[in-house]
A and B are shown apart, each in its own frame.
Chain A
Amino acid sequence: DADVTQTPRNRITKTGKRIMLECSQTKGHDRMYWYRQDPGLGLRLIYYSFDVKDINKGEISDGYSVSRQAQAKFSLSLESAIPNQTALYFCATSEGQGMVGYTFGSGTRLTVV
């Protein structure tokens, strides 16, 4: 099994629908991140979490929310999806300090129609 698992791998949803992307990890890392990838823009940080009680906004958090249900689980929600949220979403984990063990999931491709 992968160290960082994202579900679903692909999803098509309609404008206005609520959708949740899930991320789970077996690395035992405290820190978890959600990034979004758009063509020509690279990856940008949406939210990050240091532990279950510590959630922080990234550079593009508008329109998104997150939940850290446990050390191993970090979910990203789109409360009312819009077409410009069509993107590839990556979850990542890291250890406490020094960028050691930074690990990405395989990504979720989301299409909002």
Chain B
Amino acid sequence: AQSVTQPDIHITVSEGASLELRCNYSYGATPYLFWYVQSPGQGLQLLLKYFSGDTLVQGIKGFEAEFKRSQSSFNLRKPSVHWSDAAEYFCAVGGGATNKLIFGTGTLLAVQP
């Protein structure tokens, strides 16, 4: 079955600390992988996506993610977190004939001063 797992429901980090959000997927075909961010009361903003090629993907706001096929993972990282990064983060996988996206349940990030 196709699925996305974000094992951390809630993470708290200190401002300036590094961040890694985990994402594991199960997908039968070649996956297209996405990270979205949602601030409270807002819509979804695309942070980055992986389609093919270099497995380290750079996104907006200083985020990056690494695709590891052998581990079925697509973890999101940021070297130094800012208070404005507090939000909910969603990993998603898609592709195939339908272009449906399958989302993880999200990780809520809190940033301590």
Contact = CB atoms under 8 A, between A and B. Distances in A.
> Are A and B interaction partners?
yes
Interface of A: 31, 33, 35, 40-45, 48, 56, 58, 90, 92, 94, 97-99, 102, 104-107
Given A98-B32, A99-B51, A40 B9 contact: yes
Interface of B: 4, 9, 32, 34, 42-44, 46, 49, 51, 90, 92, 94-95, 98-101, 103-106
Contacts of A44: 103
B98 A41 contact: no
Nearest to A41: B105
B110 to A, nearest CB: 16
B103 A99 contact: no
Given A41-B105, A42-B103, A99 B43 contact: no
A45 B101 contact: yes
20 contacts: A31-B99, A33-B99, A35-B103, A42-B104, A42-B105, A43-B101, A44-B103, A45-B100, A45-B101, A56-B98, A58-B100, A90-B44, A98-B32, A99-B51, A99-B94, A99-B95, A99-B99, A102-B94, A102-B101, A104-B43
A99 B98 contact: no
Given A40-B9, A102-B101, A104-B44, 14 more contacts: A33-B100, A41-B105, A42-B103, A43-B103, A45-B101, A56-B98, A98-B51, A98-B99, A99-B49, A99-B51, A99-B94, A99-B95, A102-B34, A104-B43
